[in-house]
């Protein structure tokens, strides 16, 4: 029942972050669901209040930050301030302080000024824009079926439509899943998972608790194939955290997700999401991030308190910029480790090339290159394989060019689309349930992936990091094009619960987010809304439609998240048409709303074209060769399985970035 523990966590995290709390507001297109009620609307003509930030942060002499309303994305009004004065820690939780945007600077750690027209958007606490307006029941409860009854059990839907077992993918390696989950954790926070540990009455007496508004437990049919012997009839599940929960918005507005990660591909995992946090992880010399040696592995300091999964002899919990997210899942903490080391590798090399550069210049340049690599690998190496290269080119997600791609559009507000972050949970389908460990091409052992949650201390003992790293590029991902999920993920994804099903949860999060029915998204994405069950055959195989028709009362009740899991793939891609449509919107938004996207030119801090073309030389294989623990050989297309066309080669044969393009002549002149 008690929410205060969570609020406390936010206040602690946010006040550590307080000197720049940014967010965004309801634009006409992306926020059709947000029609502010009169009590929170800024009055006409109210120009907003400009003032010194209340919590001290390092600001440039004479700079006066403007306090933005996190949710609405406008300078805070007097009326709104009075409202927040009555909210516990309201100023910390619901506002963002924005230093004036400066034409000369590059990307800020805190995400402010990512689009100078909407300076607070792109910061933590930026609300998640929606493609379609939310539909909730009264008081933001879960939307019922069209006839007013409760929607069917998400567990029953899952067990009816999707089986569980281990099947290997023909194309992808497990490394692809690692990189992808890290990309998700880079732009949205998963703090709501802590609610699993603090709300404990969602399944009191083995029955779904429909009274506690924080609970959305999943009812389990008596004859559930797996849970029947244990007699489990209810799966614990709590709701996501909203602006309403922290007090920024009244419940009369649609519930909107509250997140304290910058909603962009900006390596917030490594650098943090605020200036203060970023300063805490820097070494303050040589442009480096603070590091130490753990055996022969370069790692960050290791005393973060958040690794609840570490066993007694696992003592490290790495102090990354975002030390909750970055220690959360094995795919995330491995990937974050590689990009942490990449930063220091770049900084050391740049210092050699440009001996006259100081800490700040080295740090910002290494960070810019690192983020550019991160964006490049995501957009150019992973996404085209999932969406189809031809599709990605046609939609303007990627370009074949050796120049800039100047598609920055100042009218677009930075953010991560709500349907994207929930919809891409579908990639749980190719996440292996067990992670293989290899040493010198020999299989050693494997471990159930959920047992490594919040447990980055595991990496330090017994050569585990090296073995998990070698394992992830040798091990195939789980099979993409089937309807089967790993039992580790759909029976006990949260090990401290007796039972938990990640895909049933994926379905529930669609309800939690208030997504309208699948039919609305069909229309939005250019398909005909279905009137009969047969109308669904254009996107879903008849055998799956048949099952849907038994479980749902009518076609109009079919949900977006369920449909995403059963849609047939579009040509050349590994996903169905609706998720494709959602991902295209988000990937375009990320590049077009972000002034500092790596391919953009035309501002002082932009990469030069020769530098940009160096970024285009790198690959995930190169990043692992340079930063993976004990990587000497790897297949060049490392997101793919090894095979006759993709055999491991020595790292020397994998091309990379030539930093000579960053040589600063003024250093040599001065000598």
- The footprint of ligand NAG on residues 608-647 (CB under 6 A) is none
Beta bridge partners of 163: 484
Closest CA to 269 of 281, 257, 258: 281
3, 59, 89, 141: which one binds ligand NAG (CB under 6 A): 89
- The footprint of ligand NAG on residues 441-470 (CB under 6 A) is 444-445, 461-462
17, 74, 425, 600: which one binds ligand HEM (CB under 6 A): 425
- What Cα–Cα distance (Å) separates residue 655 from each residue in 241, 650, 652? 44, 11, 8
2 binds ligand NAG, rule: CB under 6 A: no
Give backbone dihedrals phi and psi of 427, rounded to 5 degrees, phi first.
-70, -5
C-beta of 69 vs 512, nearer to ligand HEM: 512
Going residue by residue from 92 to 111, which x/- string records binding to ligand NAG, judged by CB under 6 A?
Answer: x-------------------
- What Cα–Cα distance (Å) separates residue 79 from each residue in 37, 43, 49? 13, 8, 10
Distance of alpha carbon 653 from its chain centroid, rounded?
32
Distance of alpha carbon 593 from its chain centroid, rounded?
17
- What whole-number distance in Å separates Cα of residue 467 and Cα of residue 424? 28
- What whole-number distance in Å separates Cα of residue 588 and Cα of residue 586? 5
311 binds ligand NAG, rule: CB under 6 A: yes
Q: What 8-state DSSP symbol labels residue 139? A: G
Going residue by residue from 502 to 541, which x/- string records binding to ligand NAG, judged by CB under 6 A?
Answer: ----------------------------------------
Residue 564 φ/ψ region, left for φ over 0, alpha for ψ in the -120 to 50 degree band, beta for the rest? alpha
87, 101, 198, 232: which one binds ligand NAG (CB under 6 A): 232
Distance of closest approach, residue 519 Cβ to ligand HEM, in angstroms: 23
Tokens 């999964």 label which residue? 309
Q: Return the structure tokens found at 628.
A: 């993976």
Going residue by residue from 395 to 434, which x/- string records binding to ligand NAG, judged by CB under 6 A?
Answer: ----------------------------------------
- What Cα–Cα distance (Å) separates residue 162 from each residue in 285, 401, 488? 52, 41, 14
64, 88, 356, 609: which one binds ligand NAG (CB under 6 A): 88
Distance of closest approach, residue 497 Cβ to ligand NAG, in angstroms: 3
Q: Return the structure tokens found at 593.
A: 């709303």
Binding site partner of 232, from ligand HEM, ligand NAG, none, Cβ cut-off 5-8 A by kind:
ligand NAG
Cα angle 614, 618, 622; round to 5: 140
416 binds ligand HEM, rule: CB under 6 A: no
19 binds ligand NAG, rule: CB under 6 A: no
315 binds ligand NAG, rule: CB under 6 A: no
Question: Which residues carry a binding-site annotation?
Answer: 428
1 binds ligand NAG, rule: CB under 6 A: no
Distance of closest approach, residue 449 Cβ to ligand HEM, in angstroms: 4
Reported as type and span, the H/E element at residue 218 is: strand 218-219
641 neighbors 171 (Cβ within 8 angstroms): yes
Q: Give how many residues touch ligand HEM by CB under 6 A.
A: 25
- What whole-number distance in Å separates Cα of residue 189 and Cα of residue 198? 17
Distance of closest approach, residue 506 Cβ to ligand HEM, in angstroms: 7
- The footprint of ligand HEM on residues 453-492 (CB under 6 A) is 453
Q: Return the structure tokens found at 339.
A: 């990009």
| Binding interface with ligand HEM (CB under 6 A) | 177, 180-181, 184, 188, 190, 193, 329-331, 421-422, 424-425, 427-428, 431, 449-450, 453, 493-494, 502, 505, 509
């Amino acid at each position: 029942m008690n929410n205060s523990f969570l609020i406390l966590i936010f206040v602690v995290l946010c006040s550590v972050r307080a000197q720049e709390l940014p967010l965004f507001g309801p634009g006409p297109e992306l926020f059709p669901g947000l029609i502010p009620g009169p009590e929170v609307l800024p009055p006409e003509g109210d120009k907003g209040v400009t003032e010194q930030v209340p919590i001290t942060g390092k600001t440039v002499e004479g700079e006066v930050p403007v306090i933005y309303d996190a949710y609405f994305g406008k300078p805070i009004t007097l009326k709104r301030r009075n409202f927040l004065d009555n909210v516990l820690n309201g100023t910390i939780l619901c506002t963002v302080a924005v230093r004036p945007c400066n034409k000369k600077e590059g990307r800020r750690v805190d995400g402010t000024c990512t689009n100078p027209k909407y300076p607070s958007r792109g910061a933590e606490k930026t609300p998640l824009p929606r493609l379609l307006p939310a539909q909730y029941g009264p008081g933001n409860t879960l939307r019922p079926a069209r006839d007013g009854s409760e929607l069917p059990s998400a567990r029953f839907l899952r067990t009816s439509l999707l089986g569980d077992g281990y099947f290997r993918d023909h194309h992808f390696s497990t490394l692809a899943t690692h990189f992808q989950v890290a990309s998700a954790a880079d732009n949205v926070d998963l703090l709501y998972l802590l609610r699993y540990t603090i709300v404990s009455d969602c399944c009191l007496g083995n029955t779904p608790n429909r009274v506690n508004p924080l609970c959305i437990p999943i009812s389990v049919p008596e004859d559930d194939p797996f849970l029947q012997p244990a007699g489990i009839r209810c799966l614990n599940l709590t709701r996501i955290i909203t602006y309403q929960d922290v007090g920024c918005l009244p419940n009369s507005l649609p519930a909107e997700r509250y997140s304290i990660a910058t909603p962009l591909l900006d390596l917030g995992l490594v650098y943090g999401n605020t200036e203060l946090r970023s300063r805490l992880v820097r070494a303050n010399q040589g442009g480096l991030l603070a590091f130490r040696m753990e055996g022969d592995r370069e790692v960050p300091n290791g005393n973060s308190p958040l690794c609840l999964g570490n066993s007694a002899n696992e003592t490290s919990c790495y102090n990354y910029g975002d030390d909750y997210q970055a220690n959360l899942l094995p795919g995330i903490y491995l990937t974050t480790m590689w990009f942490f080391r990449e930063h220091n590798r770049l900084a050391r090399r740049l210092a050699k090339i440009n001996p006259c550069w100081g800490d700040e210049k080295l740090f910002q340049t290494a960070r810019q290159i690192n983020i550019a690599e991160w964006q490049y690998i995501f957009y150019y190496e992973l996404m085209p394989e999932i969406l189809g290269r031809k599709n990605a080119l046609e939609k303007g997600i990627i370009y074949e060019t050796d120049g800039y791609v100047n598609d920055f559009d100042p009218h677009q507000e930075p953010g991560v689309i709500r349907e994207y972050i929930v919809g891409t949970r579908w990639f749980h389908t190719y996440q292996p349930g067990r992670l293989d460990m290899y040493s010198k091409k020999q299989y050693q052992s494997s471990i159930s992936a959920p047992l490594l949650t919040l447990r980055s201390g595991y990496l330090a003992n017994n050569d585990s990091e090296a073995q998990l790293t070698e394992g992830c590029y040798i091990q195939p991902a789980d099979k993409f094009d089937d309807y089967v999920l790993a039992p580790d993920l759909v029976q006990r994804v949260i090990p401290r619960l007796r039972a938990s099903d990640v895909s049933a949860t994926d379905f529930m999060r669609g309800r939690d987010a208030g997504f309208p029915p699948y039919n609305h998204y069909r229309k939005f994405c250019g398909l005909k809304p279905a009137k009969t069950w047969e109308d669904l055959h254009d996107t879903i195989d008849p055998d799956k439609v048949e099952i849907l028709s038994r479980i749902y009362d009518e076609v109009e009740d079919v949900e977006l998240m369920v449909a995403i899991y059963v849609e047939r793939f579009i040509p050349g891609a590994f996903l169905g048409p609706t998720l494709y449509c959602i991902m295209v919107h988000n990937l375009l938004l990320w590049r077009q709303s972000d002034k500092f996207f790596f391919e953009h030119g035309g501002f002082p801090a932009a990469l030069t074209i020769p530098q940009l073309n160096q970024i285009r030389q790198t690959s995930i294989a190169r990043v692992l060769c340079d930063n993976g623990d004990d990587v000497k050989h790897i297949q060049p297309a490392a997101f793919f399985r090894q095979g006759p066309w993709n055999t491991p080669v020595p790292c020397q044969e994998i091309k990379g970035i030539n930093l000579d393009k960053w040589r600063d002549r003024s250093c040599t002149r001065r000598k």
